Amino acid sequence: MDFNLPADLVAYLDELDLFIAREIKPIEAADDNIRFFDHRREWARTDFDNGGLPRHEWEALLRRVKNLADSAGHLRFAIPKRYGGKDGSNLWMAVIREHFASRGLGLHNDLQNEHSIVGNLPLVTMLDRYGRDDQKAMIEGSITGKYRITFGLTEPEHGSDATHMETRAVEATREGVKGWVINGEKMWTTGMHVATHCALFARTSGNDGDARGITCFLVPAKAKGVKVEEYMWTFNMPTDHPRVSFTDVFVLEDALFGEIGRGLSLAQCFVHENRIR
């Protein structure tokens, strides 16, 4: 078996290194931005007067660099060409991420909050495979920051075995409009402080432990009944990992994401794309 890297992959790593040296390192060195990466980083990144959430200037800096990487054609590497990507493989992504890690912590790559100039964009895959046309139209905005869709699967009492989730959604009609009422709670709903939507998984039929009967909904983050109960402080600050409750949250039928009762496939799609990277 040949473990040598393909020549075209090596060439792309060289291209990325040149981009980092030319575009990213000067920004990292300017305005004491290095404070976000050296021994001061937790204090620089964390707004301790606002529950330990990320400071606005920290997140704005990451967005600025993502925009630069997008303009240079790197951010979308792993997504389909029809969305401006390069159809990059998970194998190439693994090599690129390992290469970035070998360069140390920096604006080019910081996986504490899944930041990288070569983006990990599992929600693009979810929207592409399972979304309706109007949901596919959110793909561009999900890349550029117009939309921030969080992932609501894990629960306080149910982690790795998601088929035992307690969150429930039932069909309902309010003021003559059909939809669903959702009740439950989710953990580690990363990014909820800036989210526009939550891809929320709830049981709509079947019994605990059944793979069928779980449905995904795109729930607006500001919907009535959606509440961040607490942000979970971790060993690496800042935190953007909250416990979120959903109390009598009413969503329209168009909030359905994928087929009714087949939502576990969407959850697995996200996890398979995200974890390997």
Distance (Å, whole) CA 58 – CA 71? 20
CATH number at residue 250: 2.40.110.10
Confidence of residue 169 (pLDDT cuts 50, 70, 90): very high
CATH number at residue 20: 1.10.540
Domain count, the chain: 2
Give the pLDDT mean for 175-199. 97
- In terms of residue numbers, what domain contains 234? 149-275
Q: How much is the mean pLDDT over the chain?
A: 95
What is the pLDDT at residue 234? 82
Give the pLDDT mean for 237-266. 96
Give the pLDDT mean for 147-166. 92
What is the pLDDT at residue 52? 93
Residue 127 belongs to some domain of the structure:
no
User: 243-263 burial string, b = 16+ CB within 10 Å, else e?
Assistant: bbbbeebbbeeebbbbeebeb
Distance (Å, whole) CA 268 – CA 245? 23
Q: Looking at the structure, do residues 165 and 246 belong to the same domain, yes or no?
A: yes
What is the pLDDT at residue 161? 84
Per residue in 126-142, pLDDT (tens digit) is: 999 999 999 999 999 99
Q: Looking at the structure, do residues 238 and 158 belong to the same domain, yes or no?
A: yes
Q: Looking at the structure, do residues 22 and 81 belong to the same domain, yes or no?
A: yes
Predicted TM-score (pTM) of this structure:
0.93
Q: Looking at the structure, do residues 158 and 261 belong to the same domain, yes or no?
A: yes
Distance (Å, whole) CA 121 – CA 83? 12
Q: Looking at the structure, do residues 160 and 214 belong to the same domain, yes or no?
A: yes
Q: Looking at the structure, do residues 12 and 115 belong to the same domain, yes or no?
A: yes
Predicted confidence (pLDDT) at residue 112 exceeds the cutoff of 90: no
Confidence of residue 114 (pLDDT cuts 50, 70, 90): confident
Distance (Å, whole) CA 173 – CA 166? 22
What is the pLDDT at residue 122? 93
Q: Looking at the structure, do residues 181 and 99 belong to the same domain, yes or no?
A: no
